[in-house]
Amino acid sequence: MRYLFWLAVFSWLPTVLIWLKYYQKLRRYPQTFLYSVLAALLISVPWDIIAVNQGIWRFPLQNVTGINFLSLPLEEYLFIIFETVFAVSLTLMLKMYVRSK
């Protein structure tokens, strides 16, 4: 469960704050978010599965919910999705800021 707390503080909270402030601008880019999340999942999930299966890293049971899919915990999928949304949101806002200068 520690992983969910970490996600809430360092991923979900910043993403929600950006979206609360810039919703009108960010909602214009649904395809950008969709394609970015899909690309991140296509790259990150196989990478993580290989790393876990080879023992390069692991997800201790006391830190996750125990809900797994393809040998990865639910939290890892949420991390990939929300960090991508956060990064794309921040990038789009910075792009708009630079263009306005």
Q: Which pLDDT tens digit goes with each residue over 56-73?
A: 989 988 999 999 999 899
Quote the tokens at residue 22: 């810039």
- Tell me what pLDDT residue 96 has: 86
pTM for this entry: 0.89
Q: For residue 51, is pLDDT > 70?
A: yes
- Rounded Cα distance, 100 and 83, in Å: 26
List, for residues 13-41, the tens digit of each pLDDT value.
Answer: 999 999 999 999 999 999 999 999 999 99
Q: Is the pLDDT of residue 101 over 70?
A: yes
CA distance 10 to 16: 11
pLDDT band at 1 (very low <50, low <70, confident <90, very high): low
DSSP H helices, 8-73, are 13-26, 30-53
